[in-house]
Structure 1
């Protein structure tokens, strides 16, 4: 296969643009916290990057001006495609391929608290909300297990068993299977004894092999209705899950009220005792944009740039670029400055795109802002792409992981997108509004005779929503609403 000259030139230009455009896409997709980490990493790795102090911006600017015309020439030389339409390149690259990696680039280094503190006390407070090095479930269990006075055989197998618990505290595999992969000889009786020790640890229910055992491990000697609870867990979990209380009543001889009282005790148990030990660091949501009404009652978007330090290229290294005679040093500085400029341009492009996209979303969803979630309208990303004049993939990246602060609370930008249907009056309505109405109908139903999906279809029709039964079933399941039989209260 032979390429003509124009094809070769086009491929060459695309290859030259790709690294910069890929960085722009990655920066655009990052959340505000991920961007902070990226900036901090770059500050650690790129000596020519500096933070701009917002309090002292433009102060003594004349002292930092480069007097050498040679430095100005060098700066112009390292400017990357200044006359090029960066946004157009960005869009062209997206159209060329939808297969670029979706994952964010995460910082390999630790955030520099000093740099952040120098920039903003508010940023320091935000980082202070992060939980530092939370203890894992495995560490917590090992800490307790080591208090047992046991021989080395029991201790070693106990540690191995703990490491074979999943994140919910459940044993991964049967005991014989775990014994087989243990690698050391241990008899079944000893293995059973060790598992029994682990099942005595906190939180109650850890070390169980299934849900039934997990619940039984949480039954204490002084539990009210203890014998009834044990019977319900041991013999009737399937009936409980299907709300077959009359069948349990006939089988056990217990009254319906007694069974319901036993179920109330079971509901206090934790089916996943390890889930309170999360491996990830929890953090408060940090909004990227804020929407508020101006003096003319128009809803406008403000980009919350106070969370993103402003960067600049060091004048010191620009002077070195002009004055240093060593070719290798000049090339090193030139590449660092080029990389810094790419980063600064990518961040600025992110700000511009995010501001435009957010404002376009707000323009479509003013009813939501003024009247609440029930007033949200159907909105597709293609509509916003057309409004802003970018590729739809840009919209997807721009809203990914971003949050908007509104007078009605914090919302992810993706929350404002979704399809809809047409009411009996011919008005478009968002699926979210339909879900809210469905929840309202189910909440107000007669719990002793809950509405079936067919009955829900008829009830929703009285409110102007003509929906198929399968649609009702689909959204009921998506909303984790049980079937009518399971919702029935006796």
Structure 2
């Protein structure tokens, strides 16, 4: 095989490290971006926080955009070659996107000071008795809480071993995950005791553990959990006997909400059954929920929207990230140092610092363009609520700001907008459309809001079926199939009509 040299010409798109950095910064959330900025400040000596930019005198409304300025910015050409490179790369890559992504509403209307566990006192004088100082929250798992009660309960060594095995078999929902026979087998296996543990001993200890706080913990079923709580009621409690009968003998009818059959078998009138249901509703089907506390998730909005003189104005959140700049003193040292290695070190870090600042500026500019476009398209939402949401997909915004869909997807992912109606992820404002009778379009988000409103106002004794909701929407000119109503209802975590039926 003979070797030879050939000359070929071709074109290909090269993704430079600077372009990679710009795309990565564009898709970072606010919290991740703050961490990225801090890492850049720690690794690059030529970057520093610009304290003057954060001063009240210089913190003007430079980032504020109204609709007029937004339209000019959206329709104009990219401001620099750097943004053109990003846009060209996005158009070349053509990432696949989901155009009907809706996120849950998150809200944070508190300040950091409210979560300070113990602030220093203003003076060393005595504190008034009626002052309450928040000292933080004690986080304790369900297992730790039960073990603490177990240590305070007098048990024999054998009963204590059984109680420990029971507590360890309780899951986060408070349910006993193994049978009592399994506990007997596990304790007797490899035991040196002459007398093996009997099933009756485990049952007796289980009853004691089930009386730990919260009452009904370590139950093997919902029926047992509710019955344990009922047994703590005084025997003179009205309708107690009837309630126990229903839970013990007709739990299936109660779960299916078949009240007609339930009244027939128990020979109770509807008014009597309402009293029984009131007593049942006073019980706690998930007692462990009162002990387990989930850690709150905080969201820092990237942009905020407010109405100023009748116009909706969008502005960047100045607190979401620090203002950074190049240290002029270090940058000037590149011309005065004698060592070539030192000069090269400063020059390389200076170039990195400039690219990093330029990437941040490009990110903020792109975010403002997209946010202004969203607010302009969804003015009805800000005025009237989710029921007035207009259908909008990523391509609509991409055409208005002259960017690729993948860029819009990166900008709207994990970016949040603070509005008078709450804090929303930017993707919340995108939804598919449903055709109406008059040839118009209705947003799927608006349909979800209408379904939620109809169900909230329904008669609990006769809840609306999916077909009935479809008929009501059809009367308003919105043609939606029953299965579509069911899909939207399930996305809202709303149970079907037979499970929403209630006597009280």
Which TM-score band (shorter chain)?
A: 0.7 to 0.9
1:410 corresponds in structure 2 to 423
- Segment drifting more, 263-272 vs 181-190: 181-190
CA distance in 1 between partners of 2:215 and 2:88 (Å):
55
1:170 corresponds in structure 2 to 175
CA distance in 2 between partners of 1:56 and 1:488 (Å):
56
Per-residue CA deviations over 1:20-56 (Å, capped at 9, x if unaligned) read 5555444333333343344445555655543221467
> What is the aligned-residue RMSD (CA, Å)?
4.2
Q: 1:236 aligns with which of 243, 250, 256?
A: 250
1:309 corresponds in structure 2 to 322
2:411 corresponds in structure 1 to 398
Matched-pair contact (CA < 8 Å) for 1:290–1:302: yes
Matched-pair contact (CA < 8 Å) for 1:134–1:281: no
Q: CA deviation at 1:276?
A: 4.6
CA distance in 2 between partners of 1:147 and 1:328 (Å):
69
Higher RCO, 1 or 2 (CA under 8 Å, sep at least 6)?
2
1:134 corresponds in structure 2 to 139
- Structure 1 residues 138 and 318 mapped into 2: Cα distance closer, same or farther (>3 Å)? farther
2:264 corresponds in structure 1 to 250
Per-residue CA deviations over 1:342-381 (Å, capped at 9, x if unaligned) read 5544433332222111111011111222233221111112
- Structure 1 residues 327 and 241 mapped into 2: Cα distance closer, same or farther (>3 Å)? farther
1:88 corresponds in structure 2 to 85
- The 3-state SS of whatever aligns with 2:319 is helix
CA distance in 1 between partners of 2:272 and 2:205 (Å):
36
Per-residue CA deviations over 1:407-426 (Å, capped at 9, x if unaligned) read 33333322211122122222
CA distance in 2 between partners of 1:305 and 1:338 (Å):
26
Q: How many equivalent pairs are there? A: 440
Matched-pair contact (CA < 8 Å) for 1:123–1:307: no
Matched-pair contact (CA < 8 Å) for 1:48–1:336: yes
1:424 corresponds in structure 2 to 437
CA distance in 1 between partners of 2:212 and 2:446 (Å):
46
2:76 corresponds in structure 1 to none
Q: 1:35 aligns with which of 24, 33, 36?
A: 33
2:105 corresponds in structure 1 to none
Matched-pair contact (CA < 8 Å) for 1:311–1:344: yes
- Structure 1 residues 160 and 26 mapped into 2: Cα distance closer, same or farther (>3 Å)? farther
2:476 corresponds in structure 1 to 463
Matched-pair contact (CA < 8 Å) for 2:432–2:443: yes
- Segment drifting more, 373-382 vs 443-452: 443-452
- The 3-state SS of whatever aligns with 1:89 is helix
Matched-pair contact (CA < 8 Å) for 1:95–1:391: no
Per-residue CA deviations over 1:209-259 (Å, capped at 9, x if unaligned) read 332233333334226333333333333332122211121122223333232
Q: TM-score, normalised by structure 2?
A: 0.72
Matched-pair contact (CA < 8 Å) for 1:421–1:431: yes
- The 3-state SS of whatever aligns with 1:85 is helix
Q: TM-score, normalised by structure 1?
A: 0.73
Per-residue CA deviations over 1:372-405 (Å, capped at 9, x if unaligned) read 3221111112211222222223222322233322
CA distance in 2 between partners of 1:350 and 1:204 (Å):
54
Q: CA deviation at 1:58?
A: 12
Matched-pair contact (CA < 8 Å) for 1:293–1:299: yes
Matched-pair contact (CA < 8 Å) for 1:48–1:313: yes
- The 3-state SS of whatever aligns with 2:288 is coil
Unaligned runs of 5+ in 2: 58-79, 98-109, 118-133, 192-196
Matched-pair contact (CA < 8 Å) for 2:253–2:262: yes
- Structure 1 residues 98 and 420 mapped into 2: Cα distance closer, same or farther (>3 Å)? closer
CA distance in 2 between partners of 1:376 and 1:394 (Å):
23
Q: CA deviation at 1:141?
A: 2.8
- The 3-state SS of whatever aligns with 1:382 is helix
Which protein is richer in helix relative to its size? 1
Matched-pair contact (CA < 8 Å) for 1:290–1:404: yes
- Structure 1 residues 343 and 460 mapped into 2: Cα distance closer, same or farther (>3 Å)? same
- The 3-state SS of whatever aligns with 1:204 is coil
CA distance in 2 between partners of 1:330 and 1:179 (Å):
76
